[in-house]
Amino acid sequence: MTIFYLGSRGCIKFNEVKIEQSEWKNILTCLLFVSDNPLTIKKIEDTTGLEKKAIEKLMDELIKDYEDSAQPFKVYEIAGGFKIGTKSKYSIWVKKMTEIKKKIQISSAALETLAIIAYNQPITRLEIEKFRGVSCSGVIYNLLKHRFIKITGRKKTPGNPLIYKITDNFLMHFGLKNISELPKLREIGIN
């Protein structure tokens, strides 16, 4: 099977058939619509056989095309991948329709615990409790249940405690591309 990018000609050859760049954008749009999770470059590579540089170029163009179009949606880069979502001026209508769905309520204890994990990951329960000054096993259980955090292994210390990190679900819930988009501690007045 021959798959490669022809670059400046605007075509990509797939199994000896030339597919125009605009058609590849349509293919990527279809993949975005059917993907439940953010569509990663790797997943697109595996699905289409396109090279990473070709995918990045096509996605950049697709993001710009939808941003500049009259379409009510656009492509967002979020949680290490890409998703199609509503443009902000139409969000009120989507919100009205989806108000029936119950939003996950996050308690102040859970937010505090999430912040500690996000800024200090990988981290153990005991380390989190040292920051908070109270037991947090119930909060951690709920955060695991809602997939805001995950267990990523065990720390090589006595007792081999579990290690926690945030998940892509956390990034999606808070609208972040990646962890580096969190505000710096000095920006929020913490030294």
Q: What angle do CA 71, 76, 82 make, to 5 degrees?
A: 115
Q: How far apart are CA 115 and CA 87, in angstroms?
A: 28
Q: How far is CA 50 from CA 18, 56, 116, in A?
A: 13, 10, 39
Q: Which is more confidently placed, 77 or 18?
A: 77
Using an 8 Å Cβ cutoff, are 136 and 129 in contact?
yes
Q: Looking at residue 6, what is its pLDDT?
A: 41
| 98-112, 119-133, 161-175, range with the lowest pLDDT | 98-112
Q: Which is more confidently placed, 110 or 13?
A: 110
Backbone torsions φ then ψ of 3, nearest 5 degrees: -140, 120
Q: What is the DSSP letter of 36?
A: S
Across the range 104-123, mean pLDDT stands at: 89
Q: Looking at residue 20, what is its pLDDT?
A: 78
Give residue 107's pLDDT band: very low, low, confident or very high (50, 70, 90).
confident
Q: What is the pTM of this model?
A: 0.55
Give residue 90's pLDDT band: very low, low, confident or very high (50, 70, 90).
confident
Q: How far apart are CA 25 and CA 58, in angstroms?
A: 6
At 60-86, the pLDDT tens digits run 999 999 988 888 989 998 888 999 988
At 19-64, the pLDDT tens digits run 777 788 899 999 999 988 899 999 999 998 889 999 999 999 999 9
At 160-191, the pLDDT tens digits run 999 999 999 888 888 888 888 888 877 776 76
CB burial of residue 85 (10 Å; 0-12, 13-18, 19+): middle
Domains contained in the chain, CATH given = 3-88 (1.10.10.10), 108-188 (1.10.10.10)
